[in-house]
Structure formats: structure tokens, C-alpha cells
């Protein structure tokens, strides 16, 4: 079949393959190749870029263009797609042999480019790969050569761009600068390639290459099938893997920055150049293990991380079961891959070349001991306990220079460990597009996938929960229960886990193939035995169980056959079977089931489960279980509080499930296995605990200083209590919980709040008696979370969502709701991903709301076009007092439009246009605004391009206006002498 017919016939499939990940990286890589192969000219390339446009629109345009240009263009398009897209996205596509039989032009091959500028185009794909890890160095070279300005550097390093996109933006700007700039860049890249610090082939003895081949083969076999969630089934990782959102973690010194897999070990977000450990943090079920597995597979195939000759993967869960003392050599070869020969030579090579080695440690939060730097161990051949080896590797006492990649839940990362981190990367779960992609990949039948997605979109609470990959997996796994649940659709995390419980018990149990309405009663024995096993193990931070431990709790072979426990390969005793729960959250769920149904858990024990945890003996160990725990769970020499610190996140998850199980929604199920009076007592106890916990937070609110608003800065425990209240799904409990909360401002910053937490917050906060300012800065709200917050927007007079990875899509929904909310008067959205597309909606808000006070959109991606849209709304607004647009790119045209739009505004007090590329033309328009305004007090114009001429316009305007208190102008195009002169003339000009 011809290439043109293949492209036309597979249009829908190609569109889905190129868009399903939700990321533009694949399309941009294809465009790089097509530009290098002369399929596209420069104008085509610029027109097809995705910035500010929907990804699907760009893909459709590319497919149309290829078909118009004929057979050769379509053949090269198919070749480019097969090269760039991962195998998982190519499944089901036919390339007709064009990916192999066709030989596209090679990068840098054939006729030498006539100029450096032409080389930028013909070698573009390889240049992107070479530049993405060294953007800062390339910009420095261009800056020193005079080819770039500081403004150009800022343009390249916009936080919207991934490192690969920054590399492309850099090449675009160099192309626009001409031949001289291109020569500087190519010379810099050439010098970098010939740097003596790069490894050479002499470092790779034959024995090392043979071992690398065996190691790759071993890791490839281990990583080929999905191992997360117990590897249920034989799903290929290629078929199911879906990219989640990765960002430089909050508090790293940088604003949120999107990252690709290849950037996790790159330079972006580096805090400590001397450290070697990179932390990937994420909540339980966010996909940390799957991400590591994907990296392992890519390394094994030679598709990523090729700077590392050897990769050694470790599971912290399994290291916790290692009771023997062992040396570093045994840790590497015994736990990962045993060399066939020359062990001494290989180990010495590893010691001599640590920079060519990568260690990965999955699940730091599942170690029985917290990280400690008290015990030093520096000898790689001397045996010691596995945790001691791990801790000394992380802190650099052992094998300094080896790169370590560690995953953990945020709560389990101690300040001591953070001192040894090179950087921290936050795994945020799925975007809305990611949820769709995962569901479609999980279901081979497109019609089933479409029905599941329709059901999710109709249930916003469930859609928000699916932001967490493990919940998305459960929903996809239990699609029959989801689609057949009628009006009782899942709303909470407990609902989802009850759904998977029913699914496994009724679908996998050999005893009852026909669904039963009394399924809890039918399987109460299994629930209690597995529940006791789960609870006992949580008390000792155990996640792998021996046959002896199963027997102690009475777990039978029939219980194992239900599928909740899967066999674990315990390397410390390979001759005996060991088991683990499908996922740690499922272990917490079974522990909660036991707590709710057991008559051995009294009310005081339940109360202590909900009490704020301090550094003390384990709550579950001392109170809930007593002597039930085996002595083997207590490690000798463990530091006081170490185990409790490790299990704290799991205790909170368990308590959340207890709240949900005691909801009236599930009472009919539990009555099959537990008397009503017992359930009532436990339910009342939990409600009292939640009420007391909330009241304790309220009592901690300090009295405001004179002239300040009364505010509450919530702690993580507050969010946990809110989630527990939401799980109970009782509006009267939610109403009572916040009945005594009397604050004007609720601060919830830096609490790792995502869509799941937003759903719970909205459920509870909508019952507030008085309007409140809701500050959610520096969290992970995203577009999905914004939609979950809408129910409580009625009680918000202001909402602050700085640094939350929000795009135009989420904000448009918020504004649509906000227009209808009488109390809504202020919004702040610094450091998000807003473009001109959302400004029309803001203009409508300004037109329709006569009492709107503050609009702050700093550090987004708004241009002159967006400023013009805003100006249309400003013309009708007589209430706005604060307008912040710093860090955008409105330039002179945008400044003129805004100044004109604000001419009729009789309320404006503060205006910020810092760092917007505004020159003297824009300053002249703003000077007219100064002349006409009787209310403006502060005008911020720092870091722009205003010259002496523009400042003169401002001086003349200030002569006619006495209400303006300050005009900030530092960082504009004035010499020190000019600054001195104008400052003498007008003290209100501040430099």
C-alpha cells in the first residue's frame, strides 16, 4: 500500500497515537526530523509548533500537510513516527515497511551544509539531544559572544518548557539571529564534544561489556511486564505505561518545571552539586515504582540513561527482609545479577568508575528504619546490615560519585536525608489526558474504554480520584462493577477499594462464580484473616510475609487464591515462599476492615488511631494489637521512633479507610458481618475524634494583629482530617466540623494538595458560614483539581492558586463558575501555564462583575494579544484595584492596550507590568494613564526596556499627578548617570 493511503487510512489511529500521552514531545521530535529531511520548510515548522495550540490541532495539520505534499512526504512522515514514538504508542499502526525499507536522509550526512545556519536545520534532531542537558552553558557562550541578550536567555528558559523544548527554543532564536550566532553555538557544541571529561572506549573492558549485556538482559526480563499492583495479568509495560506529570519539587529553589523521563537525572532543579542522590517523591499509588520500571526497561534496551554502563535496581521492601550482613559486592551481584566470570575485575571497575554506575532504590518509605547518618561505613568489602549499606550509599560515605535514584512518599523523607539530595523530583500523577490515555491502553476493546471514560467524566469526584494511577488502575480493572453500579457510583477512595474487594472476591473466588448480594458475609473469614495479617504487619512496618506469618493469622490457600496476596521473590531465602499485598494501600484497606469488624479493637484504641502522632511507640503496636505481634517484628538496635516514623503515612491511610467504611453508605455491607450496636459505637467514636481534631486546629489560630485579617495556616494533619470527613459522606458531619471556624483567610500552601484533596476540601468548606480567602499556592491542584474546587467557590471571596500547574482549560471552568458567585472578588494565578486563550474569559468576568477587586496573572504566557482581550473587559470595570501581569510578554502593544482600557477605571490602586519587554512606546501610553488616574498609587515597571525617552514621558506625567506614590524602574535601559539625573528630578521614580 502507498504511504499516502496508509496515512489517510490510519488518520484516526495516528491522531490517537500522537496525542494519547498528552505531551507534545513526540510531535516535536517528529517535526525535528521532518525539518532536517527537508519535508518541512522553516515556515511550516513554525506553524506546526504546539505552544498555545491544542496538540490534536497541530497533529491534524501535520497529517493534512503530508498528504497534500504527496507520496514521499507521507513515507518520510511514517519513518519519523516509527523512530520517535515509543513502541507502546505504535501498537496497532501499520508502517508498510516504510520505517525500514525507506532510508531517510541521515543527520549530518551527505552534502555538507553551506552555512552554520543550514547546519542548525539539517542536524536539528542531534543538536536537540546534545543541548538539552547543557542549556545554561550554551546560553552563557552566546551571551559572552554578544549573540544573545539577557532577554533572549529568559525567553529560552521559560518554565513552561521542558529541557528538550528549551533546546528547540534556543535553536529557533539562534536561527533568527543569523550566521554569526549559529557559528558560536556550533563551536560551543563541538568544544563540549571534545571535552576530555567525557568517557572513552578504553574504559570498557570486554568483561564489563559482557556483564553489561547480561545485566541488561536480566533487567529487561524483569521489567517487560507490569510489576506494579502485583503484576496481575501479563500486561506488557510498553502497552500500558502512561506518562505522569513530573516536576521539580516545591522548595527546590525553582518554580514548577515540567520534566520528561530523560530529565530526572539531568541538571534541572539541582540543589546540591556535591550530592549524588536524586529523590522521586509521590503519594502512595502515584506511579513511582512503575516509573522506575520504565526507566529500567529503557536502559536495558539502550534507549535511555546511556551515560551509565551499569544499572543496579533494588527494592527497599526486599532489602528490609535481608537479615544477614553483606558487603557492597554481595549487595550488587547477589541482589541484581551475578557475573559469569571475572567478579574481582568487574567490582574493581565499578569502584574505579562510580560515575558510570546508577543505583535505583524503590520505596524508601517501606524500610523498617528511617534514614540515619549516625553510623558510618566506608569499606565496600566489609559486611554490614543492608540498611547501613543503603544509608551510607545515599550520604556518599560509600562509593561517592555513584548516582542514586530513590523513590519515596514525601512524609517519609526526613530532613536528615534531604541534606544529601542532589535534587527532588515530584511525581504528580495523571493529567486529564493521562487518565484517558491509561484507560484506552488498559482496554483492548475501544468501546469498553469509551464507556468507562464516559462514566468517569460524568462523575467528577471519581475522575479526580483517577488522577492517582493506582485508582485509575482499579477503576479500569473493575470496569464491570463501575458500569453496572447505577446511581451508587463511587465517590470516595473507600468506594473504590470496596469495588476492587467485590471484584476480586466474586470474580476470582472458586467458591462462588455467581455474584452475591451478601458477598461480605460470604467471605468474612477471608476478610478477617487477611485484615489481621495486614494490621499486624503495619504495626511492624512489614510488607513481605513468610508462610509462618500467614499461618499465625490463619490465612489459607483459599484466601491466597482470591488474588489480594501475590508471591514475592524474597532473595534472602529463595527456597521458601513469601507473599505481599498487591499494593501497600490495599494492605492499609484490609487493616481498616479488621479494625471496623473486629470485636477486639475497643473505642480507646480507635481514638488513638485518629490522634495526632508524635515520636512515641507505635500506636498499632502498643494499643490495637498488644501481644498479637510477633517478637520478630522488633528489630534489635532500632533507634527509638524509627519504625513509627516509617509507618506514619500508612496509619493515616488506614484511618481514612476506617472513616469511609463506617459511612452510612456502606452500613448494609458491614451489617452482614458486624452487629449494628458495635458499628454505631465505632462510628460515633470516629466522629468525635474528627471533631476534636478539627477543634484543636481551630484553637491554634492566633489572634490577628491590629489591622490584619484573622487567618489560619493549616498543617498536613488538617488536610488528613478533611479527607476522613469526606470519606464519611455525611453533610451534617462536614457542617459541624467547620461550624466554629471563623477566619477570613485559610492558608493551605505547600501541603501537596492534589485533585483528591481538592474534592474533600470543597465538600467540607462549602459549609462555611462566612466567606473566606482560600490560599492554595504551591500545591498540585492542576486543571483536574480546579474542577473539584468549584462547589466551594460560593464561599470564597478570594482564591490564590500560584504555582499549581494550571492551564487555560482549568481556569476557564473556574471563571465560568466564578461569574455566578456573589462573594468572589479576587484571584491570583502567578506561575501557572496560562496563555492568551484564557484572557477572553477574564474579560467577561470583569465585564459582568461590578465588584471585582484584584486580578493577578504574573509569570504566565500572556502576550499583547491577551492584553488586548483583557483591555476590553477593563473598559467596563469600575471596581478593579489591583492588576498584576508581571513576567508576561505584553510588550509595547499590550501596554498601550492596557493603558487605554484602564483610562476609565476610577478605582485602580496598583499595577504591575514588571518584565514584559515594554519599551518607551509603552511607557508613553502608561504616562497617559498616570495623567488621567486619581487613584493609582504604585506602578511597577522594573526589568523592561524603557529608555531615557520613555522615562521623560513618565516624568512629565508625574508633574500632573500627586496621588502616585512610586514608579519602580530598576533594570531598564538607562545609564547610571541618567538614573542619577532623573532621581534628582523626581523622588517617586525608584531604581
pLDDT at position 45 is 83
Contact 539, 647 (CB under 8 A): yes
Contact 254, 291 (CB under 8 A): no
Give CA separation, 222 vs 216, 227, 313, in Å.
10, 8, 10
What cell numbers appear for 791 in the block? 462547589
Length of the chain: 991
Distance CA 249, CA 282 (A): 10
pLDDT at position 25 is 74
Ranges of residues in the chain with a pLDDT under 70 are 20-23, 50-52, 86-92, 99-114, 133, 159-162, 193-203, 228-234, 250-257, 485-488, 508-516, 569-575, 612-647, 707
Contact 8, 78 (CB under 8 A): no
Closest CA to 545 of 586, 581, 584: 581
Are 527 and 481 in a shared domain? Answer: no
Distance CA 820, CA 511 (A): 55
What cell numbers appear for 177 in the block? 539571529
Distance CA 662, CA 656 (A): 10
Question: Does the residue 131 lie in any domain?
Answer: yes
Distance CA 336, CA 403 (A): 17
Question: Does the residue 481 lie in any domain?
Answer: yes
Other beta carbons within 10 angstroms of residue 356's beta carbon come to: 20
Other beta carbons within 10 angstroms of residue 565's beta carbon come to: 23
Give CA separation, 163 vs 155, 257, 657, 719, in Å.
13, 9, 40, 34
Cβ-Cβ contacts under 8 Å for 303 (sequence gap 6 or more): none
Give CA separation, 533 vs 96, 114, 135, 541, 900, in Å.
55, 72, 52, 12, 70
Query: Residues 891-925, buried b or exposed e (16+ Cβ, 10 A)?
Result: bbbbbbbbbbbbbebebbbbbbbbbbbbbbbbbbb
Whole-structure pTM value: 0.76
Containing structural domain, residue 480: 432-516
Distance CA 551, CA 557 (A): 10
Distance CA 475, CA 725 (A): 23
493's enclosing H/E stretch is helix 493-508
* Residue 788 CA from chain centroid, whole number: 17
Q: What value, to the nearest 5°, has the Cα angle with vertex 895 and ends 890 and 896?
A: 130
Give CA separation, 665 vs 465, 490, 683, 729, in Å.
18, 11, 12, 8
pLDDT tens, position by position, 372-412: 777 888 888 889 988 888 888 888 888 888 999 999 988 88
Are 657 and 792 in a shared domain? Answer: no
Are 46 and 114 in a shared domain? Answer: yes
Question: Does the residue 133 lie in any domain?
Answer: yes
Are 509 and 537 in a shared domain? Answer: no
What cell numbers appear for 926 in the block? 502608561
283's enclosing H/E stretch is none
Question: Does the residue 506 lie in any domain?
Answer: yes
pLDDT at position 176 is 85
Are 485 and 528 in a shared domain? Answer: no
pLDDT at position 192 is 74
Other beta carbons within 10 angstroms of residue 322's beta carbon come to: 20
Are 127 and 181 in a shared domain? Answer: yes
Are 23 and 146 in a shared domain? Answer: yes
Are 854 and 777 in a shared domain? Answer: no
pLDDT at position 612 is 59
Cβ-Cβ contacts under 8 Å for 638 (sequence gap 6 or more): 368, 369
Are 495 and 358 in a shared domain? Answer: no
User: For the chain, how big is the Rg over CA atoms in Å?
Assistant: 30
Distance CA 493, CA 588 (A): 12
Number of domains in the chain: 6
pLDDT tens, position by position, 806-838: 999 999 999 999 999 999 999 999 999 999 999
Distance CA 489, CA 479 (A): 12
Distance CA 721, CA 649 (A): 13
Question: Does the residue 229 lie in any domain?
Answer: no
Question: Does the residue 61 lie in any domain?
Answer: yes
Question: Does the residue 473 lie in any domain?
Answer: yes
Question: Does the residue 293 lie in any domain?
Answer: no
Q: Is 711 helix (H, G, I), strand (E, B) or coil?
A: strand
* Residue 919 CA from chain centroid, whole number: 38
Q: What value, to the nearest 5°, has the Cα angle with vertex 982 and ends 976 and 987?
A: 115
What cell numbers appear for 347 in the block? 567490582
Are 423 and 472 in a shared domain? Answer: no
Domain CATH for 408: 3.40.50.300
Are 342 and 457 in a shared domain? Answer: no
Amino acid at each position: 500500500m502507498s504511504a499516502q493511503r496508509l496515512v489517510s487510512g490510519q488518520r484516526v489511529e495516528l491522531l490517537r497515537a500522537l496525542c494519547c500521552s498528552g505531551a507534545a514531545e513526540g510531535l516535536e521530535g517528529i517535526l525535528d526530523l521532518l525539518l532536517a529531511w527537508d519535508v518541512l520548510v522553516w515556515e511550516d515548522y513554525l506553524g506546526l509548533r504546539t505552544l498555545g495550540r491544542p496538540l490534536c490541532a497541530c497533529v491534524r495539520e501535520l497529517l493534512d500537510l503530508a498528504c497534500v505534499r504527496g507520496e514521499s512526504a507521507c513515507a518520510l512522515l511514517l519513518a519519523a513516527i516509527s523512530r520517535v514514538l515509543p513502541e507502546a504508542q505504535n501498537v496497532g499502526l501499520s508502517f508498510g515497511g516504510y520505517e525500514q525499507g525507506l532510508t531517510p536522509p541521515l543527520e549530518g550526512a551527505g552534502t555538507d551544509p553551506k552555512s552554520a545556519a543550514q547546519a542548525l536545520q539539517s542536524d536539528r534532531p542531534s543538536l536537540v539531544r546534545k543541548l538539552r542537558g547543557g542549556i545554561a552553558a550554551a546560553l552563557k557562550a552566546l551571551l559572552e559572544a554578544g549573540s544573545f541578550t539577557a532577554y533572549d536567555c529568559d525567553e529560552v528558559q521559560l518554565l513552561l518548557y521542558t529541557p528538550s523544548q528549551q533546546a528547540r527554543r534556543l535553536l529557533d532564536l539562534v536561527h533568527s539571529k543569523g550566521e554569526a550566532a549559529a557559528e558560536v553555538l556550533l563551536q560551543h557544541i563541538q568544544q563540549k564534544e571534545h571535552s576530555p571529561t567525557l568517557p572513552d572506549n578504553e574504559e570498557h573492558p570486554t568483561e564489563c561489556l559482557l556483564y553489561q549485556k547480561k545485566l541488561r538482559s536480566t533487567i529487561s526480563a524483569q521489567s517487560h511486564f507490569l510489576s506494579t499492583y502485583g503484576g496481575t495479568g501479563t500486561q506488557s509495560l510498553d502497552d500500558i505505561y502512561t506518562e505522569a506529570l513530573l516536576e521539580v519539587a516545591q522548595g527546590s529553589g525553582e518554580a514548577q518545571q515540567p520534566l520528561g523521563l530523560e530529565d530526572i537525572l539531568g541538571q534541572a532543579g539541582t540543589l546540591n552539586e556535591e550530592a549524588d542522590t536524586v529523590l522521586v517523591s509521590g503519594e502512595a499509588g502515584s506511579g513511582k515504582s512503575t516509573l522506575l520500571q520504565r526507566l529500567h526497561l529503557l536502559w536495558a534496551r539502550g534507549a535511555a540513561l546511556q551515560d551509565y554502563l551499569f544499572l543496579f535496581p533494588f527494592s527497599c521492601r526486599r532489602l528490609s527482609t535481608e537479615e544477614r550482613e553483606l558487603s557492597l559486592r554481595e549487595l550488587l551481584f547477589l541482589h541484581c545479577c551475578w557475573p559469569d566470570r571475572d567478579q574481582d575485575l568487574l567490582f574493581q571497575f565499578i569502584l574505579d568508575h562510580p560515575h558510570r554506575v546508577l543505583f535505583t532504590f524503590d520505596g524508601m518509605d517501606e524500610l523498617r528504619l528511617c534514614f540515619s547518618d549516625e553510623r558510618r561505613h566506608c569499606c565496600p568489602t566489609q559486611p554490614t546490615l543492608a540498611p547501613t549499606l543503603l544509608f551510607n550509599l545515599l550520604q556518599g560515605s560509600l562509593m561517592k560519585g555513584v548516582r542514586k535514584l530513590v523513590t519515596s512518599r514525601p512524609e517519609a523523607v526526613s530532613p536528615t536525608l534531604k541534606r544529601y539530595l542532589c535534587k527532588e523530583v515530584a511525581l504528580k500523577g495523571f493529567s486529564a489526558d493521562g487518565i484517558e490515555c491509561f484507560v484506552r491502553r488498559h482496554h483492548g476493546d475501544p468501546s469498553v474504554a469509551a464507556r468507562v471514560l464516559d462514566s468517569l467524566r460524568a462523575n467528577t469526584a471519581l475522575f479526580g480520584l483517577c488522577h492517582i494511577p493506582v485508582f485509575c488502575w482499579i477503576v479500569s480493572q473493575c470496569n464491570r462493577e463501575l458500569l453496572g453500579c447505577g446511581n451508587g457510583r463511587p465517590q470516595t477512595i473507600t468506594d473504590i477499594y470496596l469495588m476492587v474487594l467485590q471484584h476480586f472476591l466474586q470474580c476470582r473466588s472458586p467458591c462462588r462464580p455467581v455474584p452475591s448480594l451478601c458477598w461480605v458475609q460470604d467471605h468474612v473469614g477471608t476478610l478477617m484473616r487477611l485484615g489481621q495479617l495486614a494490621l499486624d504487619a503495619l504495626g511492624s512496618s512489614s510488607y513481605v510475609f513468610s508462610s509462618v506469618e500467614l499461618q499465625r493469622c490463619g490465612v489459607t490457600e483459599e484466601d491466597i487464591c482470591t488474588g489480594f496476596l501475590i508471591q514475592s521473590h524474597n532473595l534472602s531465602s529463595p527456597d521458601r515462599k513469601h507473599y505481599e499485598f498487591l499494593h501497600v494501600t490495599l494492605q492499609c484497606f484490609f487493616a481498616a476492615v479488621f479494625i471496623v469488624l473486629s470485636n477486639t479493637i475497643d473505642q480507646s484504641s480507635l481514638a488513638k488511631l485518629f490522634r495526632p502522632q508524635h515520636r512515641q511507640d507505635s500506636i498499632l503496636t502498643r494499643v490495637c494489637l498488644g501481644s498479637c505481634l510477633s517478637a520478630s517484628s522488633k528489630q534489635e538496635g532500632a533507634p527509638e521512633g524509627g519504625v513509627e516514623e516509617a509507618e506514619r503515612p500508612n496509619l493515616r491511610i488506614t484511618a481514612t479507610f476506617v472513616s469511609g467504611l463506617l459511612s452510612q453508605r456502606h452500613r448494609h455491607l458491614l451489617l452482614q458481618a458486624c452487629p449494628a450496636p458495635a458499628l454505631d459505637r465505632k462510628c460515633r467514636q470516629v466522629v468525635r475524634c474528627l471533631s476534636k481534631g478539627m477543634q484543636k486546629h481551630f484553637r491554634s489560630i492566633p489572634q490577628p494583629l491590629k489591622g490584619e485579617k484573622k487567618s489560619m495556616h493549616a498543617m498536613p494533619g488538617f488536610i488528613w482530617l478533611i479527607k476522613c470527613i469526606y470519606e464519611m459522606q455525611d453533610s451534617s458531619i462536614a457542617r459541624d466540623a467547620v461550624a466554629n471556624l471563623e477566619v477570613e483567610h485559610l492558608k493551605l500552601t505547600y501541603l501537596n494538595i492534589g485533585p483528591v484533596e481538592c474534592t474533600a476540601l470543597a465538600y467540607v468548606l462549602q459549609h462555611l458560614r462566612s466567606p473566606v480567602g482560600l490560599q492554595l499556592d504551591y500545591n498540585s491542584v492542576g486543571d483536574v483539581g480546579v474542577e473539584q474546587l468549584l462547589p466551594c467557590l460560593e464561599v470564597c471571596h478570594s482564591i490564590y492558586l500560584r504555582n499549581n500547574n494550571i492551564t487555560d482549560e482549568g481556569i476557564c471552568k473556574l471563571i465560568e463558575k466564578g461569574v455566578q458567585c456573589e462573594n468572589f472578588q479576587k484571584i491570583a494565578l502567578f506561575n501557572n501555564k496560562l496563555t492568551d486563550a484564557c484572557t477572553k474569559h477574564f474579560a467577561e468576568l470583569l465585564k459582568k462583575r461590578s465588584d471585582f477587586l484584584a486580578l493577578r496573572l504574573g509569570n504566565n504566557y500572556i502576550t499583547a494579544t491577551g492584553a488586548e482581550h483583557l483591555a476590553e473587559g477593563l473598559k467596563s470595570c469600575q471596581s478593579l484595584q489591583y492588576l498584576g501581569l508581571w513576567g508576561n510578554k505584553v510588550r509595547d502593544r499590550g501596554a498601550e492596550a492596557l493603558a487605554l482600557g484602564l483610562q476609565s477605571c476610577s478605582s485602580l490602586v496598583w499595577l504591575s507590568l514588571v518584565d514584559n519587554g515594554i519599551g518607551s512606546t509603552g511607557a508613553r501610553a502608561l504616562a497617559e494613564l498616570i495623567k488621567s488616574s486619581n487613584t493609582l498609587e504604585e506602578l511597577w515597571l522594573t526589568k523592561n526596556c524603557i529608555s531615557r525617552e520613555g522615562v521623560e514621558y513618565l516624568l512629565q506625567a508625574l508633574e500632573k499627578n500627586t496621588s502616585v506614590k512610586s514608579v519602580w524602574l530598576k533594570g531598564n535601559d538607562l545609564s547610571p548617570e541618567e538614573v542619577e539625573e532623573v532621581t534628582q528630578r523626581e523622588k517617586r521614580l525608584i531604581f
